Amino acid sequence: MPAELVITGSVHLGPKTLVVIPSLSGTTAESIELLRFARSAGAFVLTLTGHAATPLAQEADANLTSFAADDTSSETFTVQALLIALSILDSVDDYTEARRLRSDLAGLPGALLGIKRRFEERAAELAQIIAGSDFHIITGAGGSWPEAFYYGMCILEEMQWIRTRPVHASDFFHGTLELLESGVSVIALKGEGPGRSLVERVEAFVPSITDTLTVIDTADFELPGFSPELRALLAPTLLATALERVSAHLEVLRDHPLSTRRYYRRIQY
């Protein structure tokens, strides 16, 4: 996305624009180029990084540094993005509901730790399923889609070298369904907001072709005191929290640390 925006530009980019750029390393080349491009257009650039002494942290108009490991970065970035969105709503529209939701997030760290602990046994089982197949289709919709896309591309493909087809649940029946046959692994991520019914449509269809269907549903996670609206907004974070435990087991099962790469940041491209 940063590389595309630099090439295409945008009518929305100018002196009244807030540009938010997340980068765990703070050194992503395309993101650095976008930062400079956006600032040259007069935009205010806020960067979210895992390290302070980096170009993206130091050249931004504002920076929030919060250390995270590779496999927990999506958790921290989705929470920060939600906080930013709620803060903007509050400042622009004096949105009381946004203030309440933001306040309710105070108990999130403990809640996420509880999810990890309760999901541990299932995470080990799911890691066995993922390690046992060399091809997966992963799908989601609404709040669950960002994590489906991220986990398929960044974790299973980039960090584990497992062939994976991330596909939005609304597109599943426009081509991808023809890849289904007995034994093909499908991973469906379900949130609790708009888009849930699209994932359920896939969930209902897949067992008629293959018995290798894995469903992770945020509705199964215990979050006492969290409203249905907040649970829906937190879908990518909740799924990332659970899948981090899957990744931890997966790298041991496959003897493949998540940090191992062949090409990414190892050769020039």
Domain borders along the chain are 2-67, 107-253
Q: Is CATH 3.40.50.10490 what the domain over 107-253 is classified as, yes or no?
A: yes
For residues 130 and 151, give the distance between their C-alpha atoms in angstroms, rounded to a whole number.
12
DSSP string, the chain: -HHHHHHH--TT-STT-EEEEEESSS--HHHHHHHHHHHHTT-EEEEEES-SSSHHHHSSSEEEE----GGGHHHHHHHHHHHHHHHHHHHHH--HHHHHHHHHGGGHHHHHHHHHHHHHHHHHHHHHHHHT-SEEEEEE-GGGHHHHHHIIIIIIIIIT--EEEEEEGGGTTTTGGGG--TT-EEEEEE-SSTTHHHHHHHHHHGGGT-S-EEEEEGGGS--TT--HHHHHHTHHHHHHHHHHHHHHHHHHHTT--TT--SSTTTS--
Domains 2-67 and 107-253 share a fold: yes
Walk along the chain (269 residues) and give the pLDDT tens digit of each residue. Answer: 999 999 999 999 999 999 999 999 999 999 999 999 999 999 999 999 999 999 999 999 999 999 988 778 888 999 999 999 998 988 887 677 888 888 889 899 999 999 999 999 999 999 999 999 989 999 999 999 999 999 999 999 999 999 999 999 999 999 999 999 999 999 999 999 999 999 999 999 999 999 999 999 999 999 988 999 999 999 999 999 999 999 999 999 999 999 999 998 889 88
What is the number of alpha carbons within 13 Å of residue 114 lying toward its C-beta? 10
2-67, CATH topology level: Rossmann fold (3.40.50)
Phi/psi region, residue 262 (left: phi>0; alpha: psi -120 to 50; beta: rest), is alpha
